[in-house]
Amino acid sequence: MDADLLTWRDVAGITEALAAAVIADGIPDVVVGILRGGMVPAVLLAHHLGVRDVRALTITHTQSDGVNAPKAERPVLTNPDSVGRLDDRDVLLVDDVVGSGDTLDAARSHLAHSHPGSVRTAVCLLNLANWPTTRGPASGDGRIATYVGREIRRWVVLPWEQP
């Protein structure tokens, strides 16, 4: 397998560090996980943060499971009403891995239609091997996510993806 395997202990450490960073900026009102992979860290973060309002957004970019799975031309959103209204609420949008940034961009854009007060983003892993050079730097002031757990440079298999 041409991938690194993360353990539950790895994910626990990443989500604990993300939670500490989020808390330093203020606890959100709502945690929204991007289904499927982002839902596990979203629930873990919600527990660390003491947030009971957890919602899901189904948006996918990869066409199948597996290492180096092919991607659709652009992220596909299904069940757009699943998040509901977010009127003036502080939202934390969570995903497991960001590669090109397209899925996170599409999710953030969709959430704007629900009128949140603010949207911060947290990702467990930023895969720099997939980062398009046309987007500019992945980190720094213009970074794709508000909070990044770890930067990587190859495909990673998360514990909930392991048989």
Q: Which residue has the higher pLDDT, 160 or 68?
A: 160
Domains of the chain as residue ranges with CATH: 4-63+71-161 (3.40.50.2020)
The string of pLDDT tens digits covering residues 30-82 is 999 998 889 999 999 999 999 999 999 988 765 555 555 555 667 677 777 88
Q: What is the 3-state secondary structure (H, E, C) of the chain?
A: CCCEECCHHHHHHHHHHHHHHHHHHCCCCEEEEEECCCHHHHHHHHHHHCCCCEEEEEEEEECCCCCCCCEEEEEEEECHHHHCCCCCCEEEEEEEEECCCHHHHHHHHHHHCCCCCEEEEEEEEEEHHHCCHHHCCCCCCCCCCCEEEEEECCCEECHHHCC
Binned at pLDDT 50, 70 and 90, residue 22 comes out as: very high
pTM for this predicted structure: 0.86
The string of pLDDT tens digits covering residues 97-141 is 988 888 898 899 889 988 999 999 999 999 888 776 666 555 555
